[in-house]
Amino acid sequence: MPIRLIEEKDYEKLTSLYKAFFKTHTLFQREREIVIAYILKEALEREFLVYEEQGLIKGALVIVNKGTNANGSHKRWKFRHIAFESERIGKELLAEAEKRVRQQSATAKVELTIAESEEGLDFYKKQEYAQEGTLLNHYRWGEKCYILGKSFL
């Protein structure tokens, strides 16, 4: 599987993927240097997966631990900045990220948010992510943001 942790050589390529995938995302439409600085920060602080094929970055996903219960048996996660060039790549990235979080505790909950202006709501539902809530005016005024979740035993 061509999924691995991000490396410094990926930053520039990843800016192009994010700019194309997140057409309305405030951060990823900014200057290249600002986006690269953000990617570097995330790569140092989080588990940042990339999907590489024939030297090209065709997908990415950031895994964030949002909390752990007192005895460590349950962890809550958020998948952020999920971008992919095809549904096949998206499915493989999600499967790898889910595998990694399942290895961390007996039970786990994964959440992700998707703006209504972004494509993919149906894709995530096909991957068994349930819509658990809706936020109004979250990323941009007048736009809905959907909270999706999936639990693992």
Q: What are 9-48's pLDDT values in tens digits?
A: 999 999 988 888 887 767 888 888 988 999 999 999 999 9
Query: For position 19, which CATH number holds?
Result: 3.40.630.30
Supply the pTM of this predicted model. Answer: 0.88
The separation between the first and the last C-alpha atoms of the chain, rounded to the nearest angstrom, is: 25
Banded pLDDT at 49 (limits 50, 70, 90): very high
Task: Tally the domains of the chain.
Answer: 1
Angle of the 32-45 helix axis to the 11-21 helix axis, nearest 10: 110
Q: How many residues does the chain have?
A: 153
Residue burial 24-51, b: 16+ Cβ < 10 Å; e: rest: ebeebeeeeeebeebbeebbeebbbbbb
Q: What is the mean pLDDT of residues 54-82?
A: 93
Eight-class DSSP state of 6: -
Neighbours of 92 (CB within 10 A): 18
Give the residue numbers spanning the domain of 107: 3-152
d(CA 89, CA 70): 35
Question: According to DSSP H, which parts of 68-151 are helical?
Answer: 87-102, 121-126
d(CA 118, CA 97): 21
**How, if at all, do strands 107-115 and 74-84 pair?**
parallel
